[in-house]
Amino acid sequence: MGNPFYIEITGVKEAVTNLEDFGKFSGKAIMNALAQAGLSIQSAAKLRLKQRGHYVTGRLASSIHSEVKEGALDKNNKKVTGMIFDYKAEQSGESFDGTLSQHAGNLELLVGTNVEYALRIELGFRGEDKLGRKYHQAGDPFMRFAAELGGKKLPEYVRKQIERLVLEANQRRSNDMYKKWAKQGVFDYEASMV
Would you say 162 and 65 are in contact if contact means Cβ atoms under 8 Å apart? no
Task: Find the Cα–Cα–Cα–Cα dihedral 47, 50, 53, 55, rounded to 10°.
Answer: 130
Residues of the chain above pLDDT 70, percent: 68
User: Highest mean pLDDT: which of 2-11, 20-29, 92-101, 185-194?
Assistant: 92-101
Cα distance between residue 134 and residue 122, in whole Å: 17
Instruction: Name the 3-class secondary structure at 41.
Output: helix
Mean pLDDT of 67-84: 51
Judge whether residue 51 has pLDDT over 60: yes
Residue with the bigger pLDDT between 42 and 26: it is: 42
What residues does each domain of the chain span? 13-163
- How much is the mean pLDDT over the chain? 74
Place 178 in a pLDDT band, splitting at 50, 70 and 90: low
Place 124 in a pLDDT band, splitting at 50, 70 and 90: very high
User: Highest mean pLDDT: which of 19-28, 125-134, 152-161?
Assistant: 125-134
Q: Which of 117, 68, 110, 62 is nearest to 86 (CA)?
A: 62
Judge whether residue 168 has pLDDT over 70: yes
Cα distance between residue 140 and residue 120, in whole Å: 9
**What's phi and psi for 111, nearest 5 deg?**
-130, 130
HSE-up of residue 23 (Cα within 13 Å, Cβ side): 6
Cα distance between residue 193 and residue 182, in whole Å: 23
